[in-house]
């Protein structure tokens, strides 16, 4: 067999191969880059069936990642993620880097299976580099996301779990694509992926606008992930935020979610204090009106309520009190 | 009854359906020990779910969990990789002295818990890859290269994983100590301290608190010396050995410094 350095990395894709003792020597099997399939009738079901009768403690659990989001706006793309990897009930890690730096101008996020995401996005980086070397220009974001989508489509049904967003700024501007292990590939301006995505969407949709400033966008992204970590058991840890600009991506911040929790609490308190101050001013204004109207009027209390409601602009003032 | 000799429903009346199941060629079931009827899977060729009615079938069960705890703790310029040496199988202990550690190079050590057969195959394949690398590049594999290679090797078995829980520890090219923790299919992360295996849930929180100083808001992070780290690891194993039935017997500790790998061993309780 060939004794020189292996040039496997120049081949475009990882092939699936049936592991067959007669065909491959142990050295070849251990050193090949082909992805091995078990030699059973239905390899897609094999892993699930292997643990079907097993006790919970003996089952294989793979690291799963959870809340991620990204959106495009006038200043580029903001991506924010949490950092918890759960393996069944156990927290495998609280410091996972779920934003994968594919190359200096392309980012990918990780949700679903951690090994699946990191392996295939690293493979995507390899193929983007090959494209760049062969074509003397950078690959577009659309092409990169399509490479990934087509790769995982070849493993469809075999149990890969991957929900990722590929984002970057190429010659035609900032682009964001969602790619998952089912083969879905969607272009869009706003995505959130993972078990905590519903919570993140709520906050993100409420606060998003295309014309946001960069600081507001970062603040919104951070808060959206925070709310997801707060309510989703499988999300937590540190909130990482990246910004994709024309020159490439830059890491903005990495804050423990409890720090963001204190910030949100302080902001809410400030808003509540301000509202109370307004209400206090309105109430004292309304009391003066009622006192002038009638001293022992049984509907004075009602008048006060209505008057203060009027000062808030909700309810028209009563025509006259009886 | 059909050609496979599957049980008739009446077998459930006797209360011991497992005794009648023909033990066709199959791996040991996980956690299997005498008298326990396995729960049959919900799908598959000709299988009906519950043990209380209908036919039971054994299927190819390739995995078993042999237990054990492994850990790696990295310091400023050293790393300590340790594992216990008990081989468990259900409620039995087939061996008290099984090594889970592979010394990959003078600066990199791997420890794997889980299924011993997969661990041995993985270590064998890794040794081959290390020799091949050394011959092609005229130097030993570095820690970062070895960590990525292990991740890729685990992932090539994505659909039939090595039932192994690995930790890798060593000194990188800059002389800093680092540890890597892996899941079964190769998801890895560079950390200061990681523990895997059956004693993971007992030891990892202690490592988080004492090595990484997590949840110690405001306390200054202190770098432990090699001796202090080994002390902590000994305490961790003695405590885990008390609370985990699969951890015990002996502990192998590998201390990796710029001068190479030094191995020491101490004894836990044999119960």
- Confidence class of residue A317 from pLDDT cuts 50, 70 and 90? very low
How many whole angstroms separate alpha carbon A162 and alpha carbon A180? 5
Q: Which two tokens stand for residue A259?
A: 């720090």
Q: What is the pLDDT of residue B141?
A: 97
How far B82 CA sits from the closest chain A CA (Å)?
19
For residue B25, pLDDT beyond 50: no
Please tell me what DSSP assigns to residue A96.
-
Reported ipTM: the value is 0.76
Contact yes or no for B191 and A118 at CB 8 A: no
- Model pLDDT for residues A114-127, shown as the tens digit of each residue: 899 999 999 999 99
Q: What is the pLDDT of residue A66?
A: 82
B154: left (phi over 0), alpha (psi -120 to 50) or beta: alpha
For residue B11, pLDDT beyond 70: no
Residue A293 CA: distances (Å) to CA of A283, A287, A301, A322:
15, 10, 12, 11
How many whole angstroms separate alpha carbon A24 and alpha carbon A16? 14
Q: Between these two residues, B135 and A1, which has the higher pLDDT value?
A: B135
Q: What is the pLDDT of residue B163?
A: 95
How do strand B108-114 and strand B101-105 relate by DSSP bridges? antiparallel
From the list A36, A49, A94, which residue is nearest B44 (CB)? A49
From the list A26, A38, A115, which residue is nearest B185 (CB)? A115
- Model pLDDT for residues A246-287, shown as the tens digit of each residue: 999 999 999 999 999 999 999 999 999 999 999 888 887 776
Q: What is the pLDDT of residue A292?
A: 58
Contact yes or no for A63 and B62 at CB 8 A: no
Catalytic, out of A12, A25, A66, A322: A66
Contact yes or no for B44 and A118 at CB 8 A: no
For residue A207, pLDDT beyond 70: yes
Helices (H), A157-254: 197-207, 214-231
Q: Are B143 and B108 in contact (CB under 8 A)?
A: yes
From the list A5, A46, A53, which residue is nearest B29 (CB)? A53
How far B259 CA sits from the closest chain A CA (Å)?
30
Q: Are A102 and A124 in contact (CB under 8 A)?
A: yes
Report the residue of chain B nearest A86, measured CA to CA: B183
From the list A38, A52, A62, which residue is nearest B183 (CB)? A62
Please tell me what DSSP assigns to residue A316.
P
Lowest model confidence (mean pLDDT) among A102-106, B19-23, B69-73:
B19-23
For residue B40, pLDDT beyond 60: no
Q: What is the pLDDT of residue A307?
A: 44
- Residue identified by tokens 């199988």 is B89
β-partners of residue B189 are B181
Interface probe with A: pick from B160, B191, B245, most Cβ of A within 10 Å: B160
Please tell me what DSSP assigns to residue A315.
S
Contact yes or no for B30 and A90 at CB 8 A: no
For residue B17, pLDDT beyond 50: no
- Confidence class of residue A289 from pLDDT cuts 50, 70 and 90? low
Residues ≥6 apart with Cβ < 8 Å to A294: A300, A321
- Model pLDDT for residues B158-205, shown as the tens digit of each residue: 999 999 999 999 999 999 999 999 999 999 999 999 999 999 999 999
DSSP-based three-state secondary structure for A167 = strand
Q: What is the pLDDT of residue A311?
A: 43
Q: Which two tokens stand for residue A257?
A: 């979610």
Contact yes or no for B187 and A62 at CB 8 A: yes
Interface probe with A: pick from B130, B132, B159, B211, most Cβ of A within 10 Å: B159
Contact yes or no for A57 and B63 at CB 8 A: no
Please tell me what DSSP assigns to residue A102.
E
How many whole angstroms separate alpha carbon B144 and alpha carbon B180? 9
Nearest by Cα to B186 from B206, B203, B166? B166
Q: What is the pLDDT of residue A22?
A: 52
- Model pLDDT for residues A216-246, shown as the tens digit of each residue: 999 999 999 999 999 998 999 999 999 999 9
From the list A45, A94, A115, which residue is nearest B186 (CB)? A115
Q: Are B40 and B50 in contact (CB under 8 A)?
A: yes
- Confidence class of residue A23 from pLDDT cuts 50, 70 and 90? low
**Is A66 annotated in the active site?**
yes
Q: Are B103 and B69 in contact (CB under 8 A)?
A: no
How many whole angstroms separate alpha carbon A246 and alpha carbon A243? 10
Q: Which two tokens stand for residue B202?
A: 């007992």
For residue A107, pLDDT beyond 80: yes
How many whole angstroms separate alpha carbon A155 and alpha carbon A158? 6
- Model pLDDT for residues B248-267, shown as the tens digit of each residue: 999 999 999 999 999 999 99
What secondary structure does DSSP assign to chain B, as a single string?
--TT-PPPTTHHHHS-HHHHS---S-PPPTT--TTPPPPPPSSSTT--S-TTSS--------------EEEEEE-SS-EEEEEE--EEETTEEEES----EEEEETTEEEEEEE-HHHHHHHHHHHHHHHHHHHHHHSSPPPHHHHHHHHHHHHHHTTTS---EEEEEEEE-TTS-EEEEEE-TT--EEEESEEEEETTHHHHHHHHHHHTS-TT-TTPPP-PPPHHHHHHHHHHHHHHHHHH-TTS-SEEEEEEEETTEEEEEEEE----
- Model pLDDT for residues B211-223, shown as the tens digit of each residue: 988 878 788 888 9
How many angstroms separate the first and last alpha carbons of chain B?
46
For residue B9, pLDDT beyond 50: no
Contact yes or no for A36 and B159 at CB 8 A: yes
Contact list, B191 vs chain A (CB under 8 Å): 93, 95
Contact yes or no for B163 and A60 at CB 8 A: yes
- What's the mean pLDDT when you consider all of chain A? 83
Report the residue of chain A nearest B202, measured CA to CA: A90
Lowest model confidence (mean pLDDT) among A61-70, A192-201, A243-252, B121-130:
A61-70
Say what percent of chain A tops pLDDT 90.
57
Contact list, A63 vs chain B (CB under 8 Å): 183, 187
Contact yes or no for B125 and A30 at CB 8 A: yes
Contact list, B65 vs chain A (CB under 8 Å): 57-58
From the list A47, A96, A119, which residue is nearest B189 (CB)? A96
Q: Are A226 and A67 in contact (CB under 8 A)?
A: no
Contact yes or no for A54 and B183 at CB 8 A: no
- Residue identified by tokens 């092609």 is B136
Interface probe with A: pick from B21, B158, B181, B204, most Cβ of A within 10 Å: B158
- Model pLDDT for residues B85-144, shown as the tens digit of each residue: 999 999 999 999 999 999 999 999 999 999 999 999 999 999 999 999 999 999 999 999
- Confidence class of residue A36 from pLDDT cuts 50, 70 and 90? confident
Cβ count near A136 (within 10 Å) = 7
Contact list, A61 vs chain B (CB under 8 Å): 183-184
Q: What is the pLDDT of residue B94?
A: 96
Contact list, B42 vs chain A (CB under 8 Å): 52
Q: Between these two residues, A222 and A320, which has the higher pLDDT value?
A: A222
Contact yes or no for A60 and B161 at CB 8 A: yes
Burial of B218 (0-12, 13-18, 19+ CB in 10 A): exposed
Q: What is the pLDDT of residue B118?
A: 95
């Amino acid at each position: 067999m060939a004794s020189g350095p292996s040039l496997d990395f120049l081949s475009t894709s990882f092939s699936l191969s049936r592991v067959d003792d007669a065909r491959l020597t142990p050295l070849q099997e251990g050193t090949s880059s082909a992805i091995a399939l078990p030699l059973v009738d239905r390899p897609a079901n094999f892993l699930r069936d292997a643990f079907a009768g097993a006790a919970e403690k003996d089952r294989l659990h793979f690291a799963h990642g959870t809340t991620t989001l990204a959106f495009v706006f006038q200043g580029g793309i903001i991506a924010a993620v949490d950092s918890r990897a759960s393996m069944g009930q156990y927290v495998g890690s609280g410091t996972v880097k779920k934003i994968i730096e594919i190359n200096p101008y392309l980012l990918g996020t990780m949700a679903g299976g951690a090994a699946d995401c990191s392996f295939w996005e690293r493979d995507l980086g390899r193929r983007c580099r090959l494209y760049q070397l062969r074509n003397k220009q950078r690959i577009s974001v659309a092409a990169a996301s399509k490479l990934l989508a087509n790769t995982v489509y070849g493993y469809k049904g075999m149990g890969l779990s991957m929900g990722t967003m590929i984002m970057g700024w190429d010659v035609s501007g900032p682009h964001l694509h969602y790619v998952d292990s089912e083969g879905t590939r969607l272009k869009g301006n706003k995505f959130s992926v993972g078990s905590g995505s519903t919570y993140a969407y709520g906050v993100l949709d409420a606060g998003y606008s295309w014309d946001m400033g960069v600081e507001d966008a970062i603040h919104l992204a951070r808060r959206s992930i925070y709310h997801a970590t707060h309510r989703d058991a499988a999300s937590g840890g540190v909130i990482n935020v990246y910004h994709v600009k024309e020159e490439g991506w830059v890491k903005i911040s990495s804050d423990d979610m409890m720090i963001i929790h204190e910030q949100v609490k302080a902001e809410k308190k400030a808003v509540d204090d301000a509202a109370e101050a307004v209400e206090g001013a309105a109430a004292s204004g309304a009391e003066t009106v009622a006192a002038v109207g009638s001293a022992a009027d049984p509907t004075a209390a009602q008048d006060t309520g209505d008057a203060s409601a009027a000062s808030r602009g909700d309810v028209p003032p009563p025509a006259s009190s009886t | 009854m059909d050609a496979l000799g599957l049980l008739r429903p009446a077998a459930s009346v006797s209360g011991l359906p497992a005794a009648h199941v023909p033990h066709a060629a199959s791996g040991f079931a996980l956690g299997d020990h005498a008298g326990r009827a396995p729960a049959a899977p919900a799908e598959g060729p000709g299988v009906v779910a519950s043990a209380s009615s209908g036919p039971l079938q054994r299927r190819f069960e390739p995995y078993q969990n042999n237990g054990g705890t492994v850990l790696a703790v990295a310091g400023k310029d050293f790393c300590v990789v340790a594992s216990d040496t008990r081989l468990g199988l259900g409620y039995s202990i087939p061996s008290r002295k099984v090594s889970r550690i592979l010394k990959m190079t003078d600066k990199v050590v791997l420890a794997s818990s889980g299924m011993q057969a997969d661990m041995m195959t993985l270590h064998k394949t890794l040794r081959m890859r290390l020799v091949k690398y050394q011959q092609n590049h005229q130097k030993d594999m570095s820690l970062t290269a070895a960590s990525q290679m292990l991740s890729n090797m685990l992932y090539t078995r994505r659909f039939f994983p090595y039932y192994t829980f690995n930790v890798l520890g060593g000194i990188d090219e800059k002389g800093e100590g680092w540890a890597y923790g892996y899941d079964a299919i190769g998801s890895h992360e560079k950390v200061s301290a990681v523990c895997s295996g059956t004693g993971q849930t007992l030891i990892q929180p202690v490592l988080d608190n004492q090595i990484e100083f997590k949840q110690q808001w405001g306390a200054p992070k202190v770098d432990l010396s090699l001796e202090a780290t080994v002390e902590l690891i000994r305490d961790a194993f003695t405590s885990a050995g008390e609370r985990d039935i699969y951890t015990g017997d002996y502990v192998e500790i590998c201390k990796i410094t710029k001068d190479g790998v030094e191995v020491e061993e101490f004894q836990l309780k044999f119960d």
